[in-house]
Amino acid sequence: MAFPNSNGTEAGPWKLAMEDGKPIKPPVTVKYTKLFINGEFVDSVSGKTFETFDPRTEEVITGVSEATKEDVDLAVKAARAAFDHGPWPRMSGSERSRILNKYADLLQQHSEELAKLETWDAGKCLDMVQGFDLPEAIGNLRYYAGYADKIHGLTLKMNGPYQGYTLQEPIGVCGQIIPWNFPLIMFFLKISPALACGCTVVIKPAEDTPLTALYCAHLSVEAGIPPGVLNVLPGFGATVGAAISNHMDIDKIAFTGSTQVGRLVMEASAKSNLKDVTLELGGKSPLIVMDDFNIDEAVEIATVASFINMGQVCLAGSRVFVQEGVYDEFVKKIVERVKKQVVGDPFKRGVQHGPQVNKVQFDRILKYIQYGKIDGANLLIGGHSLGKKGFYIEPTIFNNVEDDMRIAKEEIFGPVMSILKFKTVEEVIERGNKTIYGLVAGVLTNNINVANRVSRSLRAGTIWINCYLTGGSEWSLGGYKMSGIGREFGPFGLQNYLQVKSVITPIHDSPWL
């Protein structure tokens, strides 16, 4: 499809915020670009490399070793040896906790370099990485470090002359595949509970954003994590991801990404060794604005829900349902609010909206903007790309959106908000649930009865009332329907990496049976 609003058009209210009109030179050096297997950085077996790009300029940052199936085999072999014979699963929980907390200390010490590397590789705003992503990643690691010595079984009162107890044991070698939108957060969301439980890990970072994962692999050695316990394999989904999913010696797989790829991961698990699977997949989440809620606060919440991280969030509240009594006022105010978004170089302080991660995502978002126009939605603001270089797209809002339009049904994963009008609570519950997804939802209302009814009725794994995208290491994240299987974060995340074993023995001649 040809895009009438091609790169270079600046029809909206935004001009790219740059330093003296030019992208800022990244104040960081890339140090680690090889595979990390068995505690060492090594070249891939094939010797191949791939390039990772700066989304601001479309220029190559560096070449990175490209893992293949043979490298997966080597990493799994190292992880299996570390699990079956190494100290990590046999170590006391308190000692694992000490090492993981030291790891968190090292992340804190190197946080400035990590934040700049993340901004360069992913196009994420430096302010957000330093204020949110890194604290969340470090907090997640400390949270699970605190659980490492608190994993206990139960004693069982048996029916008959027996005693029983349960053990919670690490599940084994874990394959993990993470996306590019929150590289640091996703890296530690996956490895932290696995390592706390005593598992070993083979993790594939996204090919678009491998650099911070490799840096963190380096820090794991300094923290004292033994060789083979953590292995990091940059590469592509069709090769590395498929090899991890199909591998007969991997006991568990955890994947975050699209529903389409999640299906492939699950199929591969079923066809190989029926490995345990956790999937956190797509979403098309409703944010419901009732007419009794403060309109200015609703506008602020909706702006964050749709446009944080350039809309590259599986939890995005991109279907904004607004009750008819405040619909016109909301539309007017959200347009004025979004005009104030600062779009530009993510290294520049105060920028809220940087580039999309890559050309594929850039083109996909522009395609959906065209779909919105073709299907009859009204483009209120945005809809254009910005600048002559880089993957910048204006924050975009459509209203007069209908439920059957593509922009209302399909996950765009970009800065596109759809505003839909509704009349009654009954109507919005039905329409909110009219989706293949069920990841999260939000409702803004001052009526506790409405809040309770909507939160109980919407089929989603998380419901926010009078807020959105709030949470931390303690909550549970996971979806209904085609948004995934299982839950992550909090104590729920631990259960993904543990198996329960019952042990039963006879007791003879006891007077207390």
Bridge-based pairing state of the strands 286-289 and 276-280 = unpaired
- List Cα–Cα distances, 338 to 283, 322, 332, 431, 490, in angstroms: 23, 17, 10, 26, 34
Give the active site residue among 66, 118, 207, 280: 280
Taking CA 320 as the corner, what is the angle to CA 316 and CA 323, rounded to the nearest 5 degrees? 155
Query: Reduced to 3 states, what is the DSSP secondary structure of residue 385?
Result: strand
- The CA radius of gyration of the chain, in Å to the nearest whole number, is 24
> For residue 311, how many other CB atoms are within 10 A of its CB?
24
Q: Which one-letter DSSP state was computed for residue 461?
A: S
- Report the alpha-carbon distance of residue 448 to residue 466 in Å, rounded: 11
Extract the tokens encoding 471. Answer: 């949470």
> For residue 27, how many other CB atoms are within 10 A of its CB?
11
The per-residue b/e assignment along 117-147, b for 16 or more CB within 10 angstroms, e otherwise, is bbbbbbbbbbbbbbebbbebbbbbbbbbbeb
Identify which of 366, 355, 353 has the alpha carbon closest to the alpha carbon of residue 306: 353
Say which residue the tokens 């702006």 belong to. 303
The stretches of 375-468 forming alpha helices (DSSP H) are 406-409, 425-432, 448-457
Is residue 174 among the annotated active site residues? no
Is residue 314 among the annotated active site residues? yes
Give the active site residue among 136, 314, 394, 411: 314
Identify which of 425, 382, 373, 427 has the alpha carbon closest to the alpha carbon of residue 400: 373
Contact 378, 399 (CB under 8 A): yes
Q: So which residues are the catalytic ones? A: 280, 314
